[in-house]
Structure 1
């Protein structure tokens, strides 16, 4: 009998473009049947957690180019108790001297897996807007956020996430999105949630890793989606309502749906509402 989790885990990191608030819309657009699930831009993992909570035995290949992020998923799967202990230590020290401790951790370079992972989660919970951003050298460069009591250690959610990540059918990879071609086949489902195309000159946030997601990367992604369609894969893609993206998926095989969304990552709270995004699919 298939186990269904009573509580769906929430993403344990806040990621720019995270999909948690759009799950009700995405759920309506999942294919009814598929074999293996692929997600090559994992980020906060809201869609993966949503699907695994409903189908714990689902075969699942998820990946991201951010090696620290993949390390975090693996540590929470395998060593969640140690991660929680390290986060509790961060939380105590942070409350004693918030400003000093935040920048001390931001500049630190831990060598153990657990300390690297707890650093990432700690900074994500305490930095400005929960934004993950690195500079060209791969150095995390977000300032301290303005929080009175950030939830640094969400123990219950981390334990729930750990249990669901222990599925024997779930595999993690640190790799470029194009490499899904190596192991995907007809009948599989792939969800693409890449760094979004900017819709204005000031909306150019793409630095989840030390290399940006360029126009050439978008072209690679479009070509990959075409190849996957040709071999019979089910393709779903999220992106900004950008003319460049819409024109890239203009052929009749692609269905484009516009959806409304609020974005919590904008530094100006007045600009977090009323945004349009699109969903593109071939089924």
Structure 2
């Protein structure tokens, strides 16, 4: 989908496990040219959203901390930047900020303070790993970076400008609810937490709810319902026997991606992924 007004400075403002920046060229090859409304119900860091910069979009995620960041960047940018500038790249300070969601008055903090906290922790934690424990508390350790870019003012301003100059609906909700209003002529991109390639490879810790095989099956059911309604859909996932069997009646494209966000350096590197399409991309250009 061509958009001559794309601002290249609008790009992910967070590091994100499974981020799609390196696969954008491949994804672009298969995106329909004409899209009425773009839907992305697992928005994450928004690499595909910011790459397309659709004039009408509906984005969502079950991670309330993440969705709060999008709202604050859109509505309270100056206050957010002001608060981000207060943070320090120091270990003791990092843990004092990380501990805030263990306190009784955490819910009393303003959305601006919460967004500033998440962006700060993401920029300074180990390997940029956004991870929460079973209580929904951020639990990634300090990253010990010499000079992390805590305040990326240029990117934040570009993201805010896009969110304000386009019709982007931001929702904190389940993926099924997020796409419930989609209709023919719209385009849905699903980038769920991936099916683990081994019993020890699972990373679903970005959200307290997790994402197991039952959820993958439910997602496939939604994918099928949208297909039956004539809505173009694309889905990313890991290339596992479970996923390839689940979507075997659809157009499966194999892609290779380098994953750098892993607690063990030996586990980083090229992994096999798939793009699943319910349409022939040649017929949408």
Report the TM range for the smaller structure's normalisation: over 0.9
Return 5+ residue gaps in structure 1 as ranges: none
Report deviation, 1:164.
0.6
Aligned residue number for residue 203 of structure 1: 201
Note closer, same or farther for the CA distance 1:78–1:124 as it changes in structure 2 (3 Å cut): same
Aligned residue number for residue 275 of structure 1: 271
Report deviation, 1:167.
2.8
- Please, what TM-score do these two structures have when normalized by structure 1? 0.92
Structure 1 runs of 4+ aligned residues shifted over 6 Å read none
Aligned residue number for residue 114 of structure 1: 112
User: Are the counterparts in 1 of residues 7 and 158 from structure 2 also a CA contact under 8 Å?
Assistant: no
User: Are the counterparts in 1 of residues 60 and 178 from structure 2 also a CA contact under 8 Å?
Assistant: no
User: Are the counterparts in 1 of residues 171 and 178 from structure 2 also a CA contact under 8 Å?
Assistant: no
Report deviation, 1:168.
4.2
Note closer, same or farther for the CA distance 1:3–1:77 as it changes in structure 2 (3 Å cut): farther
CA distance in 2, matches of 1:256, 1:17: 19
Q: How many residues are paired up?
A: 271
Aligned residue number for residue 75 of structure 1: 72
Give deviations 1:81-123, integer Å, cap 9, x for gaps.
1111111101xxx24xx11000000002451111100000000
- Residue 187 of structure 1 is aligned with which of 169, 182, 185? 185
User: Are the counterparts in 1 of residues 41 and 179 from structure 2 also a CA contact under 8 Å?
Assistant: no
CA distance in 1, matches of 2:192, 2:7: 30
Return 5+ residue gaps in structure 2 as ranges: 280-285
- Please, what TM-score do these two structures have when normalized by structure 2? 0.92
Alignment of 1:1-283 (within 5 A): 4-52=5-53, 55=54, 58-90=55-87, 94-95=88-89, 98-109=90-101, 110=106, 111-251=109-249, 254-283=250-279
- Aligned Cα RMSD in Å? 1.4
Note closer, same or farther for the CA distance 1:275–1:3 as it changes in structure 2 (3 Å cut): closer
Note closer, same or farther for the CA distance 1:121–1:280 as it changes in structure 2 (3 Å cut): same
CA distance in 2, matches of 1:79, 1:121: 14
CA distance in 2, matches of 1:168, 1:210: 31
Q: Secondary structure at the match of 1:162?
A: helix
Report deviation, 1:146.
2.6
User: Are the counterparts in 2 of residues 207 and 213 from structure 1 also a CA contact under 8 Å?
Assistant: no
Report deviation, 1:188.
1.1
